Structure 1
Amino acid sequence: MVSVSTLLSLALATLIIAAMPIVLYKKLRPRFSIVPREAILGIAVFALFAMVIERALHGFMLSNPLTSAWLMNPAVFVIYGALAAGLCEEVGRFLAMKWLISREPGALDRHGPALGYGIGHGGAEAWIVGVLVQVQWIVYAVLANRGTLDAHFESAPLEALARIHLVLMSLSPVSAGIFLVERASAFVLQIGFSALMWQMLRERSRHALAFLVAAHALVGLPAALFQARLVPLIAADAVYLVLGMIVAVALVRYYRRAAAQGA
């Protein structure tokens, strides 16, 4: 059984994450002249580069006997995990922003494209990795409380069904809070990466892509360390909470100055 308080906490956290990119887009769109194309491009890039290309890369690395043996080493696994995410997502971000500039060279005079793209990219991550997954677990929890969960998975292997029950037993208001911190921090960081990439492109930096890949990889280290079971989840989430707050403050200041300058 999953308690009512846990279900309410999970539902509230999921609704907050679901609404976050939509509300932010609607609020900031007129102020920064954001066009739908920029947000749609961010959604498409995350879906292609993070959900297709990056997952295909993981599948290849784990299915290949040589590379899978290397990944058994925790240090190699951590480095690979952080670099893979940084490389796939930042290459996609770089190509998307270059495409926006090629279509509208004058876009570099505005800050809106990076903000629109970041909301789309981060919003896609929030929905695909967060909201849809969490809704699935809420449905499973409701089915478990009704005693019909096993019937819905009668054709599934017992091991898979056992894992579902173990996850449901671990759900609590605290796990809902952790989910909220993780997804909100990731959303803020994606907007931060987008703003930084755009600013470096505005300055005609030749090192924008390399710098963002390295920065993204560094930010991904706590998650990779947790996946390698080298640090506890609470430690990784604490790092992301602090990072998210720092980046959020920096973004507010950056875009306030941009709005004051009429850009």
Structure 2
Amino acid sequence: MSVAPITLVCLSLATLFVAALPVSLYRRLRGPFALDWRDTIAGVAVFAFFATVIERAINDYMLHENAAAAQVLANPAFFVLYGALAAGVCEEVGRYIAMRIIARRGARKAGTPADGAAFGYGIGHAGAEAWFVGVLVQLQWIVFAVLANRGELDEHLSNLTMDSVLRVHLILGSLSPLFAGVFALERTAAFVFQIGLSVLMWRGVRAGWKGILPLAILAHALIDVPAAMYQARLAPLVVVDALYAVAALVVAVVLFRTCRPAQRVARAA
């Protein structure tokens, strides 16, 4: 089998777009929002540890090692509930801890945008997700597609089982320009959601509101429900992506209207 050149080009462009998104956004907002690179690194670290280490370890235990839990989660409704809450709890607990540390670091300089730390952290958290969940995975499929077009794929997959090799071929056969567009849309929407959740958490932490953590967990879980429903085959992908596109647009508008960059001070005449 082979992957059409137009599909390979579209997938490469979509992957490049997602990879450049956090970098370009950081550079664009660094001045207006007085971004601190330490906040961004904190966001990267939290996602890397809480989402890729802790959450994956919990999921592996609940879905594979614990037979009783795996049997319960075989029910699509329980799987959706668990999947949404697991992601919400792990990521938001990490975000809350990081925001508390950032807040304790000291008052920001006069004139600095109040939400600057939230945007700095959010870009790091969202950027890490974009790379770990999106870019690195798609780079693997791009490599597989190139190998398939050269007729060298099976040789490079010789250490896998026949079922795994068949699965790789099936996925490659499903790739299309539309798939590339959906990938870019999903990752962009996730990026917007992560920044929105970061602003929400930051404002709650700064206000000293004790209910901000459960609220953030609930908000994150609600965002993950459509994706979990798709994984459980309870909702078609087109419906899920349409919901995410609309929701991301709403969140982006709210952020634009409520988060203001530093105002330039006019020179005295």
Give the alignment's TM-score, normalised by structure 1.
Answer: 0.96
- The answer to whether residue 21 in structure 2 is matched with residue 20 in structure 1 is yes
Query: Please, which of 245, 249, 257 is the counterpart of residue 245 of structure 1?
Result: 249
Residue 188 (structure 1) aligned with residue 189 (structure 2): no
Question: Which one-letter code corresponds to 1:220 in the other structure?
Answer: D
Q: Who is 1:92 aligned against?
A: 94
- Mapped partners of 1:259, 1:54: distance in 2: 37
- Structure 1 residue 261 displacement after superposition: 9.2
8 A Cα contact 2:95 2:198, kept in partner: yes
Query: Could you tell me how far 1:135 is from its partner in structure 2?
Result: 0.7
- Within the candidate set 164, 167, 180, 1:163 is matched to 167
> In structure 1, what residue type is equivalent to 2:40?
A
Q: CA separation in 2, counterparts of 1:252 and 1:106?
A: 22
**Other-structure match for 1:45:** 46
- Ranges in structure 1 where 5+ consecutive residues have no aligned partner: none
Q: What is the match of residue 32 of structure 1?
A: 33
Pairing 1:259–2:262 present: yes
Query: 2:204 maps to what in 1?
Result: 200
Q: Distance in 2 between matches of 1:245 and 1:201?
A: 25
Q: CA deviation at 1:187?
A: 0.5
Equivalent-residue separation in structure 2 for 1:175 and 1:15 (angstroms): 15
Query: What aligned pairs does 1:206-245 form with structure 2 within 5 A after superposition?
Result: 206-245=210-249
CA contact (8 A) 2:33 2:113 kept: no
Q: Structure 2: how far apart are the matches of 1:179 and 1:149? A: 23
Deviations 1:109-162 (A, max 9, x none): 732110000000000000110011001101100000000001111121111111
- Between the aligned partners of 2:138 and 2:250, the Cα distance in structure 1 is 26
Large movers: runs of 4+ above 2 Å: 105-110, 258-262
Instruction: Note the alpha carbon deviations across 1:154-192, whole angstroms, 9 max, x for none.
Output: 121111111000000000000001101110000110000
| Pairwise CA distance, 1:92 | 0.3
Question: What secondary structure, in the 3-state scheme, does the structure 1 residue paired with 2:96 have?
Answer: helix
Q: Distance in 2 between matches of 1:16 and 1:248?
A: 18
The residue type paired with residue 94 of structure 1 is Y
- Whole-angstrom distance in 1 between the partners of 2:108 and 2:24: 27
CA RMSD of aligned residues (A): 1.5
What are the superposed Cα offsets for residues 21-55 of structure 1, whole Å, 9 maximum, x if unpaired? 10000111121111110000000000000000000
In structure 2, distance between residues paired with 1:236 and 1:261: 41
Q: Distance in 1 between matches of 2:255 and 2:264?
A: 15
Instruction: Name the TM-score, length of structure 2 as normaliser.
Output: 0.94
Which protein has the bigger helix share?
1
Between the aligned partners of 1:136 and 1:236, the Cα distance in structure 2 is 25
**AA partner of residue 262 (structure 2):** A
Task: Report 1:59-98 matches (<5 A).
Answer: 59-62=60-63, 63-98=65-100
Matching residue's letter, 1:238: A
Match of 1:122 among 108, 112, 126: 126
For these two proteins, the number of residue pairs brought into alignment is: 261
Percentage identity across paired residues of the two chains? 52
The answer as to whether partners of 2:119 and 2:195 remain within 8 angstroms in 1 is yes
Amino acid at match of 1:50: A
The amino acid of 1:86's aligned partner reads G
Per-residue CA deviation, residues 35-92 of structure 1 (Å, 9 max, x unaligned), is 1100000000000000000000001111101111110111111100000000000000
Distance 1:90 1:43 in 2: 13
The 10-residue stretch of structure 1 (218-227 or 196-205) with the greater mean CA deviation from structure 2: 196-205
